[in-house]
Structure 1
């Protein structure tokens, strides 16, 4: 699998998505890197909230329950995680999207989520 260029939605080098326990990313490298095989587009670096975790569980992707057989301790509010862009956009439309780190969100997220939507949920205002 060849990674896509590590560029974020702002056109600068992709930063780490500050989650090391558990390690996030399609490649489990702490970054929201992606490639052609990443069908879910795990490209949006988001900080988990109780509301988003409940929503994700409700729609069929339980991120909060530990799964030791996969080495996954479960996420809790405050953890950062590389979300599937489609799930993030769905949460946005339902009014429960988590905060996003634009510096750590891969540019491929823009294939699914408009930049203005990501900016609405940005943890820090970005410069235009």
Structure 2
């Protein structure tokens, strides 16, 4: 088995965000990005009702399933890989959801500040859900 080449914001191997829902742009369960991910889906976040309403108000209805994209639809408590720019937008609006640092890829730091991620870190490890 090859080593996981992706690193989290803590500098350690990237942990799964939500393997049960096949989270991530590539549906690997990890918030890993590559050249084909135009949205930088690198922030592992725990959904809140407040954030889901905010996202819908911005035209991204995350609560509705989209089977053709293997997207199950999300509810509060689900962990999902968010675009770093959307998480930053939510932060500025005061509705940023909690993040799982161990499961947030280091490329997120190109868009968001480590201090902000740390201030919104959730307790527990990335495999809790």
Normalising by the residue count of structure 2, what TM-score does the alignment of the two structures yield? 0.88
Match of 1:43? 42
Q: How far did residue 5 of structure 1 move?
A: 3.4
Match of 2:77? 78
Return 35-44 or 75-84, whichever deviates more: 35-44
Match of 1:33? 32
Residue 12 (str. 1) matches residue 18 (str. 2): no
Structure 2 gaps of 5+ residues are 125-129
Q: Secondary structure at the match of 2:38?
A: coil
Match of 1:120? 119
Return 30-39 or 76-85, whichever deviates more: 30-39
Runs of 4+ residues deviating >6 angstroms = none
The alpha-carbon distance between structure 1 residues 117 and 12, as it changes in their structure 2 partners (threshold 3 A), is: same
Rounded Cα–Cα distance in structure 2 between residues aligned with 1:57 and 1:93: 16
